[in-house]
Amino acid sequence: MNYRHAFHAGNHADVLKHVVLLALCDALTRKPAPCFALDTHAGRGLYALDADAALRTGEADDGIARLLAATPADPLLLRYLDAIAGCRAAHGPQAYPGSPWLLAHALRAGDRIACCELQLEEAAALKATFAGDSRVAVHRRDGYAALKALLPPTVDGVRFGRGLVLVDPPYEAQGEEFTIALAGLRDGLARWPQATFALWYPIKQRRALQAFYRSATALPATATLLAELLVRADDSPLRMNGSGLLLLNPPFQLDDTLAQTLPALATALAGPQAPPTRLQWLKPPQ
């Protein structure tokens, strides 16, 4: 696998993914019982937007930089920008948090986090970032295999009934990645059916995703929600025009929250002529 997220840190897909991730974390922490989070494709956890990789692509300019310049009023977007500010206060003005950092920021002392990263250099950087945080376990292993090995979660003899699984693969395997990811989600749901699962996916031509949507509907979740954001028309197979999250067993009223946030985010990133966002129940809650 050759993918390095440092080239894409802070882009429009990261912004969507991380805004929704914080909403999921906040829903979990509203209840006092401890929770567990698994990040299957964690990356290095912390990025520098002035590093060569990020500067080479400039993708953050159309992502987090635009949102920072937009000064949004939406509460969830403000929540996300507050997390960015906290990351930069700790790590410098060009720091950008990956999903492991955001999980550690949003969850509590009694919660536990497992982060999986297969690439040696990225896993080493991830371990260094969380060397002083006993809540976070870093595993250098395949993230899909972790869905079988680490679920249902038991840490230090404590069995966790509540939690979140984030699956954020690189999609290097083209169409095969959707098949692999959906199989992993099915395995994960069989082992930990009460958890919320979130799968990030890229959008090039949306019509090419119809088979994915049909297969996702068949997963054994109690409810299945799509949240999608486009920054340009979905008419080119050669570039990522947007992205989405497949949310299995989403928390109560998350759809109401995202119904307000997604249009505000689209306007901030793509202007008043932004393509429509999509928030759709593939399987409504009963």
Could you list the active site residues? Answer: 168
Residues paired with 196 in a beta bridge: 164
- What tokens does 60 get? 């953050």
Question: 94: Cβ–Cβ under 8 A, 6 or more apart, which residues?
Answer: 48, 49, 50, 88
Q: How buried is 92 (Cβ within 10 angstroms: 0-12 exposed, 13-18 middle, 19+ buried)?
A: exposed
Rounded to whole angstroms, what are the CA distances from 111 to 67, 138, 224, 226, 247? 30, 15, 25, 27, 21
Q: What amino acid occupies position 129?
A: T
Rounded to whole angstroms, what are the CA distances from 58 to 5, 117, 165, 183, 185? 13, 24, 29, 34, 32
Query: What is the number of residues in the chain?
Result: 286
Whether residue 278 contacts residue 227, with contact meaning beta carbons closer than 8 Å, is answered with yes
Whether residue 220 contacts residue 185, with contact meaning beta carbons closer than 8 Å, is answered with no
For 93, the 3-state DSSP assignment is coil
Number of helical (H) and strand (E) elements in the chain, helices listed first: 10, 12
Q: How far is 5 from 82, CA to CA, in rounded Å?
A: 22
Q: Terminal CA-to-CA distance of the chain, rounded, Å?
A: 40
For β-strands 196-203 and 242-248, DSSP reports them as: antiparallel
- What tokens does 258 get? 């995202």
